[in-house]
Structure 1
């Protein structure tokens, strides 16, 4: 039977917070009978969201926001007054630039907003409202209404950007438009429908690769507003049903409309089909769905109560692990890593959504969200400016939370947490004092994202690049755009790369993309071929994933070239298309309490180039008091210059109160550098200001040769020299059990833990465990209990076998997917990994 909107909502609620919706149910989503909507309430809600109410705007906390709204409006009024021919606003010539047209519509909205903001100096100014309406008419007549001439540049401008500004402006000026230009709404809606070129008959097309995730939420929110303006319940209902699909958890084995964009069961978020994007598009989706809940509140159009738990789970399992002391981690920002305003600013938008979400939650859920808001505020190294919130009402709610002494500051993350976002090839490992974030890639997930001249040198960001965030640090001084601008793209922390020079896309082709429309693959700016080979290429390796056990993690990855290199060798790509070949290796990361152990094996380069592994790269202000100390493997003093066989190394930034230790668990020459580097922020993004940044760049590199194809080391946050010396002792905390292309494994004696990544299909014996690979396994023994966690990092195995040799153990707890049997004094674990998509399964054994 067909599933109604309310049935879909109830299914979402009943299926759990991030459970995978049944494919049979999702396949039946379709048009339903229109609901009766209170259009007046919907329009009033929308105006209140963006302009506030008399009550919210009377609050002193909101004054800065009101001033910002007025200041922005007056800026654009001046630009409106001084415009020349071919401009609506001075400096924005129209006719060929879609960004200028989009900006013109945005500035009309910003003026209109000031005229509807209670308590603002321009509130109720009908003269300005008439000027905005005149501007809308003029733009439509000269630059927008002719759809045959329009739709140049970026598709987003025409299908989302302009429609967003126009729809909100028309809502704000609904009464004035009805009086002065009664046909304007219908005229604009017809044009907006016509510009929905990637849609279907002027409406959303759920089968379109453009109408997914955050983009779908934007389009459907616009259409909800348009439906209210037209008093068209059918339009609202259809838009709402389309938007509700973003709440359904992505089941990679039963894709709906072929869409991989959205939230996954493990908390991952993907946009652009294969890009880990929680920190950018994920934020946009979170913001948009919260605005939808507020827009529809009390209108009769939706039962928001059943959607709120879904969004709560997005926050707790999707966003919270990725936010460290108010900073959004680099691994989920896509091309946005190259922008100057990421990190703390990203989290401010998340906080606004959480503030609003807490208002729709109740009981312990609401308390936890409010406490988390306070926790972010109290731990962030940058002051969160509520004037950056979209809604004055959210600012008032935020102030109420901060002022409520009954709400303690509390993290929704456990103090110790290890999260395998295997659906997007990322890991986050958290402990009191630090967080570790790892970026992997595969034939499922892109190595990086480059687009529109953003993130110009991204080549190795998904090849095991990692980021060690230290508590109390201002992360803008440690990471963000300045990290990518000053650290060599070939020496990002954690990457194993060939020694060569690569060229950016604009350098290669003279434009921000590769163009060859006449080729059978049809390379144009937004073609699928552009996405596949230029903007966000995937790897060619199927092995990328790992297991988690309690708060411990193991991850493994096979390094590979991307699909562009593979297909260039196969003669699929044009002769002038440039592709780069990567180094081959297997890599593992074992995430424990006091250290992260990194193993590298089988390092070879098919092209015979020299290869290096960057153990770490850290930046500091030139004036920071940075010192580096170390000891040679034989116990001799390290002079601090050149290359040596180091046993350990310790980096200290006394100015910032941070320290990181490096314990080298294998013998090899280590090159340490501390250089002053000055580069423009524009080297990573063409739209960045040409601002020169100088940083003290600390680098630790290991060069590989035929004799050093393997490497083992531990990152030790906040390490002292005494602790680092302990790693070289016979009874040191970490033992490397295996480090070759077939298996990489470690033991931590103090934790009673053994962890292994097996890369081949042969059985491998590791510390009393026989693992039929490929697999990732963690086993921990405490007293008479042994707990084993198993994951399939290839995501295509149906069954993984692990044998505990020489011990007869009984399963006393764990997942149903783990079957336990006995033979010849051994204990056999058979783990059903069929369609598990990298999830970990555990069994606790006694014996």
Structure 2
């Protein structure tokens, strides 16, 4: 229907229809601005002030751009009962995480979107309209409540608001009044993503009520979270924290990105639009943060927080890619950058997130990450009966992917005391259920160094009576994993787990240089290497290795209580190093070789690629060609690398030899030092350096404040 403008002549204003004039005057007085009018088939007008018109249009268009699936709607209509409830929902369910009762509000929203979308076969279907009202009334009349505050203040209002906008010209005053009671539970408070969720609900509620001042306040509150946060939120290394100093890239951090882009879309080209520097911040969070944890269309398990759900890594990757598609249309001057992120194998390099004890090493054909924790950083959490086995998920979990399938839905079958990369006491007690506030290790020397291409992660591990010095040297297409000082008084054995993944094809083992296919290795001193699923495991010193490939039972209910206790079975590959009971200063060395072959493993076994030192005081790796070296100094000391390198304080060094220079990268995993003195054999030109008796002495100024723990890099000319 086309609405023609109404023009009032002086004669009309003086002589005719004074009642209409008064009504129009009241409209202008009430709104304070001119009105944008929409008329429904029922003749009910929906008016918005001119300063809110574009905002309202953006909101309507945003929801009408949702993907249309009429088959889903047919199913919803089929299961909708006469009283407005759905037969598929148990309305008495009180589970805290993923409360299924609020699916009712989601279903109503889906019906409203299809009813209002011209491309849907249900567009303006009167029967669908009738059922939308019936289902909406069922919720408004019952006001279902969960045991989780999040659902009442955030989840339900967020799901309800689109329906209220789309169906506004058909809603009765009674429906509107009841809905506002539910919406009013959202207040602008808290911080981080919780504040963004709440403020977004207030933003849209204020639009619905035509409260321009409140819209402005809510928009500002949302944009205020586009900053480097002192507490929860985006950190100075572009990681994301929530529930304390805890990496939450894939949980709160991904929701933060989605909601920021949604609000950016809502207020774009309006008086409330995002400021340019806020858009730049959002871009940086994607390019320097989120894009590092998606590879081969899979989201990193280590970056997912407590949300270890079925198919979750693929779902999170889809969500992030949807964000990138949206940013392409909004932030048009940087379309190419978003295109590169969408091709999730474009990004190559190494990054240490010093605020989160998290390290990523990625190449086009593999992805590797290490998740650590310390006295500064919380390792993981178990909230809403999720991640209930994850007690060790921040204890140096090291995951290597060459195709994205190794850990896809593996969680029901994991032995949670044998997580890849960890060194753990194998006691017989059940794992404690942790909360978001209580999981930190006693380690203070935890961190890493990187130069953008390669890096080193280090974790001086100290938890539950077990000590171990663990490091990961990420050099080009290999990862050297070292452990030393493994000590405990526990009567239970200690195990370092190399990997635990789905069994894919055969397993090759080289024992005393003889290659064979096998499914199990008992105790043996002669293992040279193992090859499974394109990953080689090289043991430079022939270690006591334990391999098993068993059909195991598992259940998603053991991971998160939202799932039913259904028993599943899968073939699992498990490779471990055993250190025995009450080990004293035990150690291990192994090298991960992504995309390996039998010939490559035979060659590497004969021609060891690195020189390795692995002691309590120092762990170091040097390439055989001498072009690269890395050293973890657990105390002041001297390394024999490059003729002699010494430091006066604990630190991590990485060196790369160039034709005319030495590139030095250094970091302080303790985050406490201000400077370090480094002595190098040879004569190097560097500001403030001194040369004496064949050695160059440097005083390295370390990053401070919010940058403490970050790598400092120097180019030393020969």
Structure 2 counterparts to residues 349-388 of structure 1, below 5 A: 349-363=319-333, 365-373=334-342, 375-376=343-344
- Residues 669 and 488 (structure 1 numbering): CA distance in 2 closer, same or farther, change over 3 Å? same
Deviation of 1:265 after TM superposition, in Å, equals 2.7
Matching residue within 660, 664, 682 for 2:557? 682
Matching residue within 579, 594, 610 for 2:493? 610
Deviation of 1:79 after TM superposition, in Å, equals 3.7
Map of 1:263 onto structure 2:
234
CA contact (8 A) 1:650 1:721 kept: no
Task: Report the TM-score when normalising by structure 2.
Answer: 0.86
The yes-or-no answer on 1:446 pairing with 2:459 is: no
Task: Report the TM-score when normalising by structure 1.
Answer: 0.73
CA contact (8 A) 2:396 2:421 kept: yes
CA contact (8 A) 1:646 1:664 kept: no
Deviation of 1:138 after TM superposition, in Å, equals 5.0
Map of 1:280 onto structure 2:
251
Alignment partners' CA distance in 2, 1:175 and 1:327: 42
Deviation readout 1:357-388 (Å, 9 max, x if unpaired): 0112234x212323543x24xx7xxxxxxxxx
Structure 2 counterparts to residues 122-201 of structure 1, below 5 A: 122-125=122-125, 128-129=128-129, 131-133=131-133, 135-137=135-137, 139-143=139-143, 153-177=147-171, 180-181=172-173, 184-185=175-176, 187-193=178-184, 195-196=185-186
Matching residue within 220, 227, 236 for 2:206? 227
SS at 1:704's partner residue? strand
Alignment partners' CA distance in 2, 1:747 and 1:844: 19
- Residues 582 and 453 (structure 1 numbering): CA distance in 2 closer, same or farther, change over 3 Å? farther
Map of 1:340 onto structure 2:
310
Structure 2 counterparts to residues 590-609 of structure 1, below 5 A: 590-609=473-492
Deviation of 1:723 after TM superposition, in Å, equals 3.8
CA contact (8 A) 1:544 1:794 kept: yes
Map of 2:639 onto structure 1:
765
Higher RCO (CA < 8 A, seq sep 6+): 1
SS at 2:252's partner residue? helix
SS at 2:307's partner residue? helix
Map of 1:314 onto structure 2:
285
Matching residue within 367, 387, 390 for 1:458? 390
CA contact (8 A) 1:305 1:360 kept: no
Matching residue within 400, 407, 418 for 1:491? 418
Map of 1:12 onto structure 2:
none
- Residues 639 and 333 (structure 1 numbering): CA distance in 2 closer, same or farther, change over 3 Å? closer
Matching residue within 45, 52, 60 for 2:58? 45
Map of 1:699 onto structure 2:
574
SS at 1:424's partner residue? coil
Deviation of 1:842 after TM superposition, in Å, equals 0.7
Alignment partners' CA distance in 2, 1:328 and 1:322: 6
Deviation of 1:213 after TM superposition, in Å, equals 2.5
Deviation of 1:165 after TM superposition, in Å, equals 1.5
Map of 2:448 onto structure 1:
546
- Residues 89 and 176 (structure 1 numbering): CA distance in 2 closer, same or farther, change over 3 Å? farther
CA contact (8 A) 1:438 1:465 kept: yes
Deviation readout 1:463-510 (Å, 9 max, x if unpaired): 11111111xx3x34x11322x2223112221111111134256xxxxx
- Residues 228 and 664 (structure 1 numbering): CA distance in 2 closer, same or farther, change over 3 Å? same
Structure (1 or 2) with the greater strand fraction: 2
Alignment partners' CA distance in 2, 1:138 and 1:616: 51
SS at 2:285's partner residue? helix
Deviation of 1:560 after TM superposition, in Å, equals 2.4
Which structure 1 segments of 5+ residues have no match?
1-33, 53-61, 145-149, 197-202, 206-210, 380-410, 506-512, 515-529, 562-580, 654-658, 813-818
Structure 2 counterparts to residues 6-45 of structure 1, below 5 A: 38-45=51-58
Deviation of 1:350 after TM superposition, in Å, equals 1.0
Q: Between 460-469 and 273-282, report the one with greater CA deviation.
A: 273-282
Alignment partners' CA distance in 2, 1:359 and 1:546: 37
Structure 2 counterparts to residues 619-634 of structure 1, below 5 A: 619-620=502-503, 624-632=504-512
Map of 2:703 onto structure 1:
833
Alignment partners' CA distance in 1, 2:485 and 2:94: 53
Alignment partners' CA distance in 2, 1:489 and 1:214: 29
CA contact (8 A) 2:251 2:306 kept: no
Alignment partners' CA distance in 1, 2:245 and 2:178: 37
SS at 2:477's partner residue? coil
Aligned residues: 661
Deviation readout 1:103-150 (Å, 9 max, x if unpaired): 332222222222212221222245544554455455444436xxxxx6
Map of 1:15 onto structure 2:
none
Matching residue within 338, 348, 357 for 1:425? 357
The yes-or-no answer on 1:714 pairing with 2:612 is: no
CA contact (8 A) 2:651 2:668 kept: yes
Alignment partners' CA distance in 2, 1:418 and 1:764: 27
Alignment partners' CA distance in 2, 1:343 and 1:807: 49
Deviation of 1:336 after TM superposition, in Å, equals 1.2
RMSD of Structure 2 on Structure 1 (CA): 2.8
Deviation of 1:765 after TM superposition, in Å, equals 3.5
Structure 2 counterparts to residues 55-66 of structure 1, below 5 A: 65-66=67-68
CA contact (8 A) 2:108 2:132 kept: yes
SS at 2:250's partner residue? helix
Alignment partners' CA distance in 1, 2:163 and 2:360: 41
Deviation of 1:559 after TM superposition, in Å, equals 1.5
Structure 2 counterparts to residues 206-245 of structure 1, below 5 A: 211-245=190-224
- Residues 495 and 772 (structure 1 numbering): CA distance in 2 closer, same or farther, change over 3 Å? same
Alignment partners' CA distance in 1, 2:138 and 2:532: 61
